[in-house]
Structure 1
Amino acid sequence: MVSTAPPRVLTVAGSDSGGGAGIQADLKAMLALGVHGMSVITAVTAQNSLGVQGYWELPAEAVRAQFRSVVDDIGVQAVKTGMLASIELVETVSELLADVDAPVVVDPVGVSKHGDALLAAEAVATVRERLLPVATLATPNLHEVTQLTGITVTEEREMRAAADALLALGPRWVLIKGGHLAGEAADLLVGPDGTEHWYRAARYDNRHTHGTGCTLASSIAAELAKGREMPEAVAAAKEYITGAIRAGFALGAGIGPVDHAWRWR
């Protein structure tokens, strides 16, 4: 008896050797949400709970070959991007995504949880000009909002202006993540018709939050691949990441990861 394949989601991102973020977090979240995860590795990091000790980009031809190998044979029902590191890799991935007939969730990764740069400063303009216009959804945190638009958000009422500025760069939808603000963990989704969708959750006193952004973006991609509309996909992903943050655990001497398997424990 041959089983029917689950929805297929491709992550295009860097590898986290500590297993908490990047490709590893994406694939764990995809498994937890019932889709088949596949990967295009853009960079390899030496990384643990204390930070990123170094990273090495893969050649553009290796990224292109991985992408074509998966998409041309297996196909995808959603794509998520994370760490792209350099101008050349941002350009390469943007070009590849332009021909994909599936939702594309762009997590415009700029720095790690520990503050380590994961995107060359000179590549920020390329993300704005090439990558965001091919995104179905962009999911910046507040640091990335500033990096991409110059807008600094210090309170919740400023998030709408940030969303509008991001939408002007080309993505169809934008999710502004307010996790670094005080109070509730509030995120704002704005789409083509300008309607605001707010997602709120309790803020848990848990420092072990490594991989939050990667996990949320890949969770949204998983829900889109399963056929949910964008507002419902974000709601389901928000519920999943909130549980994963609540269950985050200590690992090593620094910041531990969110728990991708929290529903099974």
Structure 2
Amino acid sequence: MCLVNLQFRQHPTYKMVIAANRDEFYSRPAAAAEFWKDEPTVLAGRDLTQMGTWLGVTKKGRIAALTNFRDATNLETAQLSRGAVVKNFLTSTKSPEEYIKSIDPDLYAGFNLIIGDSTKLIYYNNIQNESYEIPPGIHGLSNHFLNTPWPKVIKGKEKLALYMAQTEKVDVEEIFSILSNTDYAPDSHLPDTGVGLDLERMLSPMFIKTPDYGTRSATVVLISHDNTLTFAERNFENGLFKEDKVFTFKID
């Protein structure tokens, strides 16, 4: 997952709105969102290489989302898959604070994690091994720290904030439209994460499309004040629309 924008506890209809894109190599196999057969309370897409996930919810309203931390000095030689961090929280009964304490940051390559539910969200980064409660408002996360002002983060936050200020009932298509933005950031606005200018430019849009890597899925999560949860996922194959999956249920 490479972009997560969210509005948290700042809307008359929704406790939480999440708009997220997952970017990955096209060749890495993944399953579309579904309630997992081996963990029936978990709703998420699934990485079929390591059997973890990047974003998911549960019937009880637990939620977790993860992005990789992009840093050329942080080589991916870690022992465990980062997708397990999301899966293990969703299948756990630990509080977010307890769960974060149980993570050994040295076992994973760099990542950012947002976990909790519609009443409380915690942000954690294993590079700094620090966490804090996310306050109400509009927030954005890509492959650096929460609210680091990368162009795609700024754009996503602004577009989501503008749309939510103008609507009482979300049209999921409008959120997917926001997530589909393919505009490149000006070179002068690009971060320097050590991967070179050409790659920084390629990774700068909200929706990434290259010959072998790009946005594989877009996800919208809505939790209303009456505890109705909507999970909508749009899947892509080689940058082209493949299918939509939509689930709606009342949180237990």
TM over 0.5: no
Higher strand share: 2
TM-score (norm 1): 0.33
Structure with the bigger RCO (C-alpha within 8 Å, sep 6+) is 2
Higher helix share: 1
